Structure 1
Amino acid sequence: MRRCLGIIPLLGRSTAFVLVAFLAVWSAGPAGAEPAPRGSGGYVLGMSADFSGQSRGLGVELYRGAVAYFTQLNRSGGINGKPVVLVALDDGYQPEPAIRNTIDLIRRGDILCLFGYVGTPTVTRILPLLGGGAGAVKPLFFPFTGAQPQREPPHHRHVFNLRASYRQEVAGLVNRFVSLGRKRIAVLYQADAYGRSGWDGVRRALAVHGLTLAGEATYRRGTGFDASMAEQVRILGRSRPDAIIVVGTYAPGAAFIRDARDAGLDVPIANLSFVGSENMLELLVSLSRERGLDYTRHLVNSQVVPSYEDMSLPAVCEYRQLMDAVDPAPPEGSDPHFRTFRYSFAGFEGYLNAVVMTRVLRNLEENPALGLVGAAESVRDMDLGIDVPVSFGPERHQGLDRVYFTTVEGDAFVPVSEAHWEAWRP
């Protein structure tokens, strides 16, 4: 395996060290945002994400991971002397503010493209704006959602995804559970576009095995950890499931796990990558200590990036080094009391998004005639440092397909081993 190589290989060397202002100084808050410096010759990216709502843990960490990379890039001279600037606006994980933010970003005039949006309910609503609906054509790079609409006509032309899809995540989970003999699979999902996307993926994956859903239940977006999920537990419990897949976010997901375990429903419970693993784990570990019970047992979370604990991967080493060196602040306007994490799956994904975005911008800098979409589609077999190459093309706007599985040991998420899977065999 390759050793950790430090931050130089991915950032690249610069013959002259150019110190530019920290990217964080240029970041725009959720309201009253100041324009990025005009005339700087920089590449300006527009981001709308949840920095204050139920999924703020995801938006903040995705932002921080990207900022860590872009800040170091800018300190090292940027792209041929041009800084990369991230203008970040808060949408609270709500469609209407996301639409307003997107229109504002597109109409600013200095935004090259959109980048790092968070959430299916928001992303699906802004897709019609990308093709000129707000006055200009602006592609969206690397949204934090595995939903299908941006991967299918007519919107797929304007979106580049780095992460695997929800269909791929749930297919991986279903295939594993079925291989263990756990064929009565139920689903709990958020009652919106995100939840329905995952629900549809579970149904499709089961159909491949000639199976159907054992049961299903929903909850309302915005449900908190203090809410009761007893009714959802009763609904799914009546279906006698031997595995449950949750398509949701960390607070209601943790509430469901709590109430399921309290009711004696002790089957494996799986969550998708969007859940926000670190935030969920913090809630469950705290509850376990308070009650003297283990609420983290039989928990499986799928991920679309490798574990940030895998120090055999150069990208993991670089991500951790940059997070320690830069210690990026949350975006302006986010909850100052909300805890950030030193490392996280969302943060690592944000970092990888920034690495690939930088390659796209370098391609554009070297050959402006390509245009931004052409510069992205010319990325071939890029070594990210995660042992999986990234390629795009006219018929391929998704860079990665691999799905990873994690479980909890010692109050931390670790990769699922074959021994773990076998322990879940009924």
Structure 2
Amino acid sequence: MAARAANDDLVFGMSTALTGPAAELGRNMKQGVEAAMAEANAQGGIRGRQLRLIALDDGYEPDRTAPNMRYLIDNQHVLAIVGNVGTPTAVVAAPIAMRKRTLLFGAFTGAGVLRKNPPVRYVINYRASYAEETGAMVDSLVEQFGLQPQQIAFFTQRDAYGDAGYIGGVQALERHGLPDEARVAHGRYQRNTVAVENALADILMASEPVRAVIMVGAYEPCAAFIRMAKDSGLEAKYLSVSFVGPEPLAEALGAVGDGVIVTQVVPHYDSDSTIVKRYHTALERWDPDARPSFGSLEGYLSMQVLLAGLRTIEGPLDREAIVESLENLGDFDIGLREPLSFSPQDHQASHQVWPTVIRDGRVCPVEWTDLFAEEVRP
């Protein structure tokens, strides 16, 4: 049998954080995408063609993302960009993808910049938005934990990522009767640093007592903030969006992390759903030393959604065909037990948010009602 030519592969690109403070997030996402590709390749690929990923490191810095995107699209001729990590990098990546008519798919960010209405043709998402994550937090804090909107503060990264989570959270607070955004305590820190002291001071000096802090940041500064806040006597609930990386956050916090809530946009990796069981098998085959994580599960699920689109293509497997295949999926199921849907008017497959809580260094699944029922209100 003649050897398969490498140029017959279906090649996809990724610009992600493989070094720096967000490196674990990038490595996990890459691991999940590659595990899904390896699983598909073992089953014959797509119409007999193997899938391959070219991943470049951008260190979670936008000025490195732009040249990566151009190199992947212009020099490596990738069919699509998959699984990029981060909002500040997405702000740079999305316009390049649009100009070059190349799909930016399944980015590890819930930012609104990738969720235009009507949607941009070349930007398609798997995960729920940050607005949906922070909205779920606010709804539960107000409706089940009994807080007033002005008792909820925000600790965010000073960039598009932090702003996306903050804006979504404030919109949720306004739905619950927040009279004035100026009454919301808001501390910010600089990306790729752990200089959180000023942010904490802004929250501690709030005119009203803070009883919950919603965090939109990376795991190292969030861990530093929680430690300092508790040392300062701030008795509050601490909640974070999924991008934080719950496992590294739990590891960084140790015993101090008990009770910290992290929303997820994928089910817990201990779930017994069909697709999660497949993920465990695929991950172990791809890397026997890999530990399951929410990040790699998101990468795996995102790639499964893309594969669902690829398998419907009957003509040439090119950039435009991939976009059209996803837009035409309609309602579909990958074994997640949750509804997924795409259309030309809807470029986000999932809107589901799952809460988890850190207990004894582990990230545990929980229901909002059970979580707050067992808590003593501050």
Fold match by TM threshold 0.5: yes
Match of 2:48 in 1: 81
Partners in 2 of 1:39 and 1:322 — Cα distance?
25
- 2:146 is aligned with 1:181: yes
Partners in 1 of 2:261 and 2:7 — Cα distance?
49
How far 1:57 sits from its partner (Å)? 0.8
Contact 1:141–1:161 (CA<8 Å) still a contact in 2? yes
Match of 1:350 in 2: 299
SS in 1 for 2:92: helix
Letter in 2 for 1:321: T
Partners in 1 of 2:108 and 2:164 — Cα distance?
14
Q: For 1:231-380, what aligned pairs fall within 5 Å after superposition?
A: 231-239=198-206, 240-285=209-254, 288=255, 295-311=256-272, 313-327=273-287, 342-365=291-314, 371-380=321-330
Partners in 1 of 2:270 and 2:321 — Cα distance?
37
- 2:367 is aligned with 1:400: no
Match for 2:188 among 209, 212, 218? 218
Partners in 2 of 1:176 and 1:154 — Cα distance?
29
1:182-202 deviation line (CA, Å, top 9, x unaligned): 221000110011011111111
How far 1:325 sits from its partner (Å)? 2.0
Match for 2:104 among 130, 137, 140? 140
- 2:179 is aligned with 1:207: no
SS in 1 for 2:121: helix
How far 1:231 sits from its partner (Å)? 3.5
How far 1:49 sits from its partner (Å)? 0.4
Task: Give structure 1 stretches of 5+ with no counterpart.
Answer: 1-17, 22-36, 289-294, 329-339
Partners in 2 of 1:214 and 1:122 — Cα distance?
28
Flag the 1:419–1:155 CA change in 2: closer, same or farther, 3 A: closer
Task: Give structure 2 stretches of 5+ with no counterpart.
Answer: none
Letter in 1 for 2:284: D
Aligned length, in residue pairs: 366
Contact 1:379–1:390 (CA<8 Å) still a contact in 2? no
1:21-62 deviation line (CA, Å, top 9, x unaligned): 9xxxxxxxxxxxxxxx6432x211111000002111110001
- 2:370 is aligned with 1:423: no
How far 1:109 sits from its partner (Å)? 5.3
Partners in 1 of 2:373 and 2:205 — Cα distance?
26
Q: For 1:8-87, what aligned pairs fall within 5 Å after superposition?
A: 38-40=6-8, 42-87=9-54
Partners in 2 of 1:408 and 1:326 — Cα distance?
28
How far 1:366 sits from its partner (Å)? 6.0
SS in 2 for 1:236: helix
How far 1:402 sits from its partner (Å)? 0.7
1:257-287 deviation line (CA, Å, top 9, x unaligned): 11111111121100000001111111111xx
Letter in 1 for 2:158: A
Contact 2:258–2:360 (CA<8 Å) still a contact in 1? no
Partners in 1 of 2:79 and 2:184 — Cα distance?
47
SS in 2 for 1:156: coil
Contact 1:47–1:114 (CA<8 Å) still a contact in 2? yes
Taking structure 1 as the reference length, what is the TM-score of the superposition?
A: 0.82
Flag the 1:155–1:401 CA change in 2: closer, same or farther, 3 A: closer
Contact 1:296–1:408 (CA<8 Å) still a contact in 2? yes
Match of 1:32 in 2: none
SS in 2 for 1:373: helix
SS in 2 for 1:274: helix
How far 1:118 sits from its partner (Å)? 0.6
Partners in 1 of 2:314 and 2:287 — Cα distance?
29
Contact 1:303–1:405 (CA<8 Å) still a contact in 2? yes
Partners in 1 of 2:29 and 2:126 — Cα distance?
13
Letter in 2 for 1:140: L
1:330-388 deviation line (CA, Å, top 9, x unaligned): xxxxxxxxxx8510000100000111111111112467698221111121332222201
SS in 2 for 1:143: coil
Letter in 2 for 1:192: D
SS in 1 for 2:110: coil
Flag the 1:271–1:341 CA change in 2: closer, same or farther, 3 A: farther
Contact 1:230–1:260 (CA<8 Å) still a contact in 2? no
Match of 1:7 in 2: none
Q: Sequence identity of aligned pairs in percent? A: 35
- 2:127 is aligned with 1:163: yes
SS in 2 for 1:387: coil
Partners in 2 of 1:150 and 1:400 — Cα distance?
14
Flag the 1:80–1:296 CA change in 2: closer, same or farther, 3 A: same
How far 1:108 sits from its partner (Å)? 1.9
Partners in 2 of 1:420 and 1:114 — Cα distance?
38
1:159-206 deviation line (CA, Å, top 9, x unaligned): 110000011000000000011212210001100110111111111110
How far 1:235 sits from its partner (Å)? 2.1
Partners in 1 of 2:175 and 2:44 — Cα distance?
51
Match of 1:101 in 2: 68
How far 1:326 sits from its partner (Å)? 1.8
